[in-house]
Amino acid sequence: MTSPAPTEPLGRRERMLLAGLAAALAVLLFWLRGGLHPEAPLEELARRSPDLTIALANGKPTLVEFYADWCEACRAMAPAMAAIEREHRDALDVVLLNVDNPRWQPQLEQYGVNGIPQLEFFDASGRDLGRSLGARRPAELEALTAAVLAGGPLPQLAGVGALSDLAEAPAAAAPVDAAGVGARATPSTPIGPRSHG
């Protein structure tokens, strides 16, 4: 029986080759993870977002997005939201509130957030103009933004509507329309933005 040949330590050339391969893999991994800009548009926009109380009191219309980092629809909308924020920075506040952050629990309850993305629209005086439920295409976001900037009614899109308080609604009126948009009802069974039943 022959014994295996003794292994010799790697030579200089082999070590250099392995070091080069390791460096190439590190560069590839760095590039795949976002390079020098590891934050996605959603995270960048959330970091630039003004505080909600300041935004509602500073005399500019406000667009609020309730989102989560794990929400694919929120992530898909992020580039268009970032473009709106850049384009209208001087005339419009864009505020992002992460539904997973317990700091925003009072706002989640106040605005009846039970799914994401949910957009809330406010005029320059801080009056609530309405909401949008679900993902929006860039053209829809631009139309909604234009309406908010003009102080006019929101465009008629599925999942978009003005809000009314139940206390103000006539007894015979349905508090929520067929698309699930309308009055802010307090459900008897609490539902949250993380439930997708």
CATH code: domain of residue 64? 3.40.30.10
Whether the predicted pLDDT of 133 surpasses 80: yes
Domain assignment present for residue 6? The answer is: no
Domain assignment present for residue 159? The answer is: yes
Whole-number pLDDT of residue 15: 85
Whether the predicted pLDDT of 136 surpasses 90: yes
Give residue 59's region: left, alpha or beta (phi > 0; psi -120 to 50).
Answer: left
Domain assignment present for residue 7? The answer is: no
Q: How much is the average pLDDT of 5-11?
A: 66
> CB of 185 within 8 A of CB of 169?
no
Domain assignment present for residue 24? The answer is: no
Domain assignment present for residue 27? The answer is: no
At 24, the pLDDT band (50, 70, 90 cuts) reads confident
Domain assignment present for residue 151? The answer is: yes
- Average pLDDT over all residues of the chain: 80
pLDDT tens by residue, 150-190: 988 999 888 887 654 444 444 333 343 434 344 343 343 44
Domain assignment present for residue 31? The answer is: no
Count: domains in the chain: 1
Instruction: Return the higher-pLDDT residue of 38 and 108.
Output: 108
DSSP code, position 39:
S
Whole-number pLDDT of residue 30: 67
Whole-number pLDDT of residue 162: 67
Of 119, 129, 130, nearest to 84 by C-alpha is 119
Find the domain containing 61 and state its range.
41-168
What is the DSSP pairing of strand 160-161 with strand 118-122? unpaired
Q: Kindly list the catalytic residues.
A: 71, 74
Whether the predicted pLDDT of 76 surpasses 50: yes
Domain assignment present for residue 45? The answer is: yes
Of 44, 42, 47, nearest to 78 by C-alpha is 42
